[in-house]
Structures are given as C-alpha cells and as structure tokens.
Amino acid sequence: MTATLDTKVSLAGALNRALADALSEDERVLVFGEDVGTLGGVFRVTDGLTDRFGEARVFDTPLAEAGIVGTAIGMAMNGLRPVVEMQFDAFAYPAFEQITSHLAKLRNRTKGHVELPVVIRVPYGGGIGGVEHHCDSSEVYYTHTAGLRVVTPATPADAYTLLREAIDCPDPVVFLEPKRRYWEKGTIDPTLRSPGLDRSVVRLEGSDVTLISYGGALGTTLEAAEAAADEGYQAEVVDLRSLAPFDLDTVAASVRRTGRAVVVHEASRFCGYGAEIAAQLSETCFHYLEAPVLRVGGFDIPYPAPNLERHHLPDVDRILDAIDRLQWDDSAPLADGEA
C-alpha cells in the first residue's frame, strides 16, 4: 500500500499502513491473531503484511482468544510490542479474564516496574448486516476496567495516527475499530500525530447544542448536524476518540458554550457510555445547562437480525428528535423515559 499525502485510503487501508510503518520502524512490533497472516484478516486490515515482514512477525494463531492475549502479555513483559486482533467484538469475551485480571493490572501490581505495551485491535459495532457476536458495542466492558486505555477512530486519518500512538504507548490499549467505517475513504498524513492519544476533538463548530459521539456513530452524528442546520440549530460535534481516559475538558468546554448536549452511540442506552458522560456533565456543567443531557443509543436488546438493525442503530431522525426535545421553550417537555 502506497498512501501519500494526496492519496485517499480507506479506514482499513489506513490501519494497514499504520501497522506496516510500525513494523518497519520497530523490530519489537509483532502482529498476530486469527487469520491475520495468509488471509490478511477478515476485513483485510493485515493484508500483505506476512509477505512483507515474514511469518516470524505477522502470523496466525489458533482460535483461542485467551491464549492470544496471554501470549501477548508474556511477550510484552519480555520487551516486545505485540499487536493482536480479536476477529470480531464478541469473540474477545473468552479473553476477558486475561485482559481485566492481568493485562490491566500488572503495571500497578509491580509498582510501575513492568510496562505492558500491548494493543488489542477489536473490530466492533454494527452496520454491516451481521448478527449477534459480530456487531456488539462492547466499549463499556473495557472502559470500566482501570488500567486500560480505550480509543476508537472514526476517520482514516485518525485510524492511522491513533494506531501508531497506541503501539508507541507503554500502557495496554484496547483499539476499537468501527466496522461500518472500514471502507470509507480519506487522506492520511503519516508525518502528523494527533492532538494526543487521550484527547477529543471538535469536528464541527456550532453554538446551539453539542453533539457528542465516537466511532461508527460519528458519521451519522455529522449528518444529523447538517440536517439540524436546515432546521435552524447550529450543532457543535465532538469526536471523543478516547473513551478511557475521558477528555472531560474538551467536552465540558463545548457544553458550557452551547448549554445543551446530546450523546450519540450505537451501544444500548442502559448503563451505556453515554450514561457516564451525562453524569459527568451534570456534575461539572449543571449551572450552564439549559436542559438535561439526552442520549441516543441502541435499544436495550440483544443485537437484532440484519433486516432490523436499521431500526436499532441511531439515525439522523432520532438525533434530530433529541435536539428538538432540549427544552428550547417552555412548550417542549421531555418525552417519558428520555434523560
């Protein structure tokens, strides 16, 4: 792959370029997982890497997710920088004990003497016509675990820079890749670095309401912001990028300017990531808010069949409906069950 500053690549292609550049620049970097070698990954993110760097550095593993992460922990303890792939979001659950009990805690357990620079790539979220086990939004399982960094890119440029920075990070990073955005294209600049692995960014400036989103839902949120402008609302859109740690400074600064906020994500609303954002904004921005923080998310159900997922995932109309309910005047009360 030969991306240049002027060449558009897909988000999957940007990840491939980031892995290739990291493998080229640091011989400690290894890439492994189920079908990442000869096949190049189910979504072709690792396409061609085995041919280029050899089977000693990019290789297939057995279908044993706990073993994959356990092996990565051992490698990292001995000075390597493993990047492993969980083939689909829910496939990572067998590795959960290794991730939460060991990967997240070893640095603290050793008083900082043992660093674990492990990146766990997880294709996540819906929008591809998959079924359960293949479309989970599993972010809160990881964000609730202290000791893990959790990031998710929404654009090809961010996919490249965030993955490079995740590989360079001395801490374990769960790298959530929105499957529905794998084929969207944009330009990347391999010479640039992002505002930081733990920083959010304002993707669109506005003055009336802050829309907060990340990963696969960001594109839908930007579409909704454009539609909201036609209805007279100037929406500011914040792309979280980093879910753990949460960049409260950037989000709160936006909400203090606009006075209203809607959080948009694919995951179920109940105990979803938006609940934490709403709580933190209520605690820190209470006197600036003109209305309660609203959430637009997936329904509280197991992931539906492909022919029904369009109803489950947040869309432009549901986001616009939430904006309309932000108490713009005394005659716009909240609907039951929305907060």
Residues known to be catalytic: 134
- For 136-272, where are the alpha helices, taking DSSP H only? 139-143, 156-168, 217-230, 248-258
Residue 317, burial from CB neighbour count under 10 angstroms (0-12, 13-18, 19+): exposed
9 bridge partner residues: 186
State how far the Cα of 194 lies from the Cα of 161, in Å rounded to an integer.
6
**Diameter over CA atoms, the chain:** 66
**Residue 15 structure tokens:** 């990840």
Q: Note if the bond before 245 is cis, omega within 30 degrees.
A: yes
The CB density around residue 83, as the number of other CB atoms within 10 Å, is 27
Compute the distance between CA of residue 146 and CA of residue 278 in angstroms, rounded to an integer: 20
Token pair 């949460």: residue: 246
CA distance 50 to 132: 30
Helix 316-324 and helix 217-230, axial crossing angle in degrees, nearest 10? 50
